[in-house]
Chain A
Amino acid sequence: MGVALSLGFIGIFFLWPVLKVIGLGFFGEFGGLNIESAIEILQRPRTLRALSQTLAQAGVASIVAAVIGIPLAFLLYRFRFPGRDLFRSLVIVPFVMPTVVVGTAFNSLLSESGWLGSLGMAGSFPAVVAALVFFNISVVVRTVGASWEQLDTTQEEAAASLGAGRIRVFATITLPRLFPAIASSFAIVFLFCATSFGLVMTLGGPAITTIETEIYFMTVQLLDLQAASVLSVLQFAVVLLALGLSAWLRRRTGGVAVALASRTMRLKLKNWPLVLLGIAVLTALALPLANLVQRSFTGVEGFTLQYYRNLFDSGQQLSVDAAGALWNSLQAATLASAIALSIGIISALTLNRLATRHRFASATLDTIMMLPLGISTVTVGLGFLLALNTPPFDLRSSAILVPIAQSLIALPLVLRVLLPVLNRINPRLRQAASSMGAAPWQVVRDVDLRMSIKPIAAGFGFAFAASLGEFGAAVFLARADRPTLPVVIYRLLGRPGAENYETALAASVLLAVMTIAVIMLAERASKGVSGVF
């Protein structure tokens, strides 16, 4: 039943729409594509450039994100220090910021007169990679951290007492057990980077094109659905390559069953390399953000709250209904993360149970659930428009489409946080529970869910953050006008006039603060529960 539900959701809201778009390029009124013309499109210099740019950009950015993110996960999830929880939620802020805000922040840093202007990075490959790492580092930190937090440390302690050095302990005991989480986060970051649109456009300049920007160009500007469909197939290939690689890496390290006794350490002086890294990353994350916060409080005559007043006081010169937009955002994000979390939990349990007996089926289902991360929102949005047009699924203009589109992106995040932990629960615990008479649902409740409450909370926070941001706001969605906060930010940034820009920054700060609050709340709540163990 779990399989049916997971596949049903992904099938109706993802596979069917996307296949319909691809089909449209080959058959139907706009199509008429044959193999020769498909090959011709694939062989165009434009296509080849886009493909190599996509692979290079996503490959480099996800490696850099892993190299910085893994030690940061260690620092944030294995140590205790004042301000740790705040730091943890701060890392995720870039993830929810509207790309246009982050893009302009980076641009002002890198432009000729900016703080980092002397590096001459504006409009270059390193600028794009740096921004992608900035955006996605939280994926590595949170995915790996959630896993690390739950690692039983007795093995490490045993090895250390037998005389193994710290590096050896890490390489031979800790790392292999973290590998599934590392491989997972690598895949997610790769897919996010491969499909990034706004950042590449803002920072890359017209010379940099990826498969994603090419799909946008062909679909939206040229309405060339044949080329769009061929490019979508190409994108599918890249996604499958990344997911296949990640699954292969995960499988190389068998799930060693470990109990969930985690112990955090106090941060000591000898951990200075970690502390230095923490400070460096924090600074790098905070620099563009601090710039935004400062500007949102600075008026012509120094400190001002005017821009925040613009957001909430309808008597002000700018007519922005930020309170309404905030409300819409919260509703959509709550709904989206509820959908993602419930289907995510069911899918994770299903995948976990399937893995022991039907390995291939489990791997296939897993891959299908991950696909939405790597497929262009242009394609998905176009698919919604073309496929969801007959009752009971005529949802093209329904307010529900935005949360559904967002939950498609949030679902894989939930899954990747939850599954490594479920897979590490010793199966004997479940057997023991069954043999003592627990029904299957009681096993799920008392073993699986109880032991994974922390990752569930982490997954919720992640899903919420992803939904609060602009993910899934596809170009082809004809949405009923209930503007969310990111939409209000775009609107403010899209018109001339005094205070528009600063008010948009104030709205972005509001978005960031709300994200931090929700994530801290979710973690606090899970701590109350998991304290039992």
Chain B
Amino acid sequence: MQHAALRVPQEIITIRKGAFDMNTQSRGSKPTANIQTLFALTSLAALGLSACSAATDSDEVTLQLFTHDSFAAFLLEDAPELLEEFTTQTGTEVRVLVAEDDTSLANQLVLTKNSPIADVVFGIDTNTAGRVTGQDVLVAHRPEALGTAEETFLLPSGEGAELLTPISHGDVSLNIDTEWFASSGVAEPETLADLLKEEYRGLAVVTNPTTSTPGLAFLFATIAEFGEQGWQQYWRDFLGNDQKIAAGWTEAYYTDFTRAGGDRPIVLSYASSPAFDAETASLNQTAYRQVEYAGIIKGTRYEDEARALIDFLFSAEFQSAIHAYYVFPVNSAATVPEEWQERVSIPDNPLSLAPSLIEQNRQEWLLEWAEIAGGH
């Protein structure tokens, strides 16, 4: 247990010991021993319950940071020294709370607005901002370090520009197995429209927008490219050309993609993915921009500390490490390691949609998409 946030309540340890005693004791002894242990366990469990809910107040401030699983893994496992640094600088501890993914995170934020669950949120992105910013769940904040260079990453004014601070950006894009294309003699595709051509029949796998975050971004990419009236026909032709829809990124990248032994050399992933596999490349003309934001949750008792944490997340120091989370820094003073710059290029003109447009149409688009894909 290397992190303060992972401290184990004493009660739980006791319970664990008790349970192991149960296994050893029951061998050959009277069964009553088990039953007594069990009742003891139940009461201990109840004790643990009350202890867990009571242990919130103490002298030093503990900020609760609410985020999604992939950022939590980065913060606590890949780079635990970053939060430790924040605690050293400010004396504020950070406890990380985790939601499944970006959509659940936004939902939980909205649904708990009358009894907030944390002080700071990270992980609201371009696709979910529209769900959150109109709901009066955030407090306005802008880091002093945020200048004109970073303003392009702000949400449109009136749609959350003052509420959410941009921290990182990444692009969902199609990746290809360069080795496969080199040895098969087929020319590498470049655009979304290429996937409708006969020579790329059955070569691509993307993910389901109703269950997968990159899948949703890809649907938005096709809407941004072909327009609100044109994307439906694109998808009919896309599926008609035997392209596959997998449930999620894992299934697509680790089973269907040729690099994992699958049948398809074109896969939906991120523009940063080639940093981890030199035999792949991102098709940057298919890239869709996702910016991730942090914000202060309304109702926090520790507004000053919350502001300090967001400023820390925006700082060049923090952002120079953020590539390990597979994204690029927003702060123009932050650096990206050289081997990254060699393998990954940031798309010049990524596709994007306005968050308000997304929120207005998400339901209709998804239902429409499901009809097209389901009927296929």
Chain A nearest CB from B87 CB (Å) reads: 16
Interface size class of B (residues with CB under 8 A): 35 or more
Stretch at the interface among B25-33, B286-294, B314-322, B348-356: B25-33
Of A217, A395, A396, A498, the contact of B49 (CB 8 Å cutoff): A395
Contact present for B251 and A331 (CB under 8 Å): no
A136 at the interface (CB under 8 A from B): no
Chain A nearest CB from B173 CB (Å) reads: 13
A386 at the interface (CB under 8 A from B): yes
- Chain A residue numbers with a CB within 8 Å of B131 are 223
B193 at the interface (CB under 8 A from A): no
Contact present for A338 and B42 (CB under 8 Å): yes
Contact present for A445 and B32 (CB under 8 Å): yes
Complex: A434 Cα to B52 Cα, angstroms = 42
Of A338, A341, A397, A496, the contact of B117 (CB 8 Å cutoff): A397
B281 at the interface (CB under 8 A from A): no
Complex: A330 Cα to B17 Cα, angstroms = 11
Contact present for B95 and A478 (CB under 8 Å): no
A359 at the interface (CB under 8 A from B): no
Contact present for A201 and B110 (CB under 8 Å): no
Stretch at the interface among B63-71, B138-146, B182-190, B223-231: B63-71
Contact present for A478 and B53 (CB under 8 Å): no
Contact present for B250 and A331 (CB under 8 Å): no
Contact present for A222 and B362 (CB under 8 Å): yes
Q: CB-defined interface of B180-201 with A at 8 Å, one 1/0 digit per residue?
A: 0000000000000000000000
Stretch at the interface among B259-267, B295-303, B330-338: B259-267
Q: CB-defined interface of B38-75 with A at 8 Å, one 1/0 digit per residue?
A: 11011001001110110000000000101001101100
A493 at the interface (CB under 8 A from B): yes
A525 at the interface (CB under 8 A from B): yes
Q: Determine the residue in chain B with the shortest Cβ distance to A9.
A: B42
Stretch at the interface among A54-62, A161-169, A266-274, A316-324: A316-324
Looking at chain A's contact residues, is the secondary structure mostly helix, strand, loop, or mixed?
A: helix
Of B1, B19, B250, the contact of A104 (CB 8 Å cutoff): B250
Contact present for A202 and B277 (CB under 8 Å): no
- Chain A residue numbers with a CB within 8 Å of B42 are 338-339, 342-343
Among B96, B97, B260, B373, residue most surrounded by chain A Cβ atoms (within 10 Å):
B97
CB proximity to B under 8 Å, residues A75-111: 100, 103-104, 107-108, 111
Q: CB-defined interface of B226-244 with A at 8 Å, one 1/0 digit per residue?
A: 0000000000000000000
Q: Determine the residue in chain A with the shortest Cβ distance to B259.
A: A496
Given A201-B247, A481-B6, A529-B26, A393 contacting B53 (CB threshold 8 A) = yes
Q: Determine the residue in chain A with the shortest Cβ distance to B107.
A: A223
Contact present for A475 and B70 (CB under 8 Å): no
Complex: A207 Cα to B247 Cα, angstroms = 11
Contact present for A205 and B117 (CB under 8 Å): no
A135 at the interface (CB under 8 A from B): no
Contact present for B111 and A479 (CB under 8 Å): no
Complex: A397 Cα to B116 Cα, angstroms = 11
Q: Determine the residue in chain A with the shortest Cβ distance to B43.
A: A342
- Chain B residue numbers with a CB within 8 Å of A456 are 34
Given A206-B374, A221-B210, A324-B1, A478 contacting B97 (CB threshold 8 A) = yes
Stretch at the interface among B98-106, B150-158, B164-172, B305-313: B98-106
Of A104, A209, A320, A501, the contact of B77 (CB 8 Å cutoff): A320
Contact present for A476 and B28 (CB under 8 Å): no
CB proximity to A under 8 Å, residues B175-223: 208, 210-211
- Chain A residue numbers with a CB within 8 Å of B103 are 220-221
- Chain B residue numbers with a CB within 8 Å of A223 are 107, 110, 131
Contact present for A490 and B69 (CB under 8 Å): yes
- 29 CB-based A-B contacts, threshold 8 Å: A104-B250, A202-B246, A206-B376, A207-B375, A209-B374, A216-B211, A222-B363, A319-B77, A320-B77, A331-B12, A337-B19, A339-B42, A342-B39, A343-B42, A386-B111, A392-B50, A395-B52, A396-B117, A398-B49, A449-B32, A453-B34, A481-B96, A481-B97, A487-B69, A496-B270, A498-B276, A522-B23, A525-B24, A529-B29
* Beyond known contacts A221-B366, A495-B276: 14 more, CB 8 A cutoff: A103-B251, A108-B261, A205-B247, A206-B208, A334-B16, A335-B48, A342-B42, A385-B108, A399-B9, A445-B35, A480-B95, A494-B69, A496-B269, A529-B31
In the complex, the 5 A-B pairs of residues with the closest C-beta atoms, listed nearest first? A497-B276, A206-B373, A338-B41, A201-B247, A528-B27
B residues with a Cβ closer than 8 A to A are: 1-2, 5-6, 8-9, 12-13, 15-16, 18-19, 23-24, 26-32, 34-35, 38-39, 41-42, 45, 48-50, 52-53, 64, 66, 69-70, 72-73, 76-78, 95-101, 103-104, 107-108, 110-112, 115, 117-118, 131, 208, 210-211, 245-251, 253-256, 260-263, 269-270, 273, 276-277, 326, 362-363, 366-367, 370, 373-376
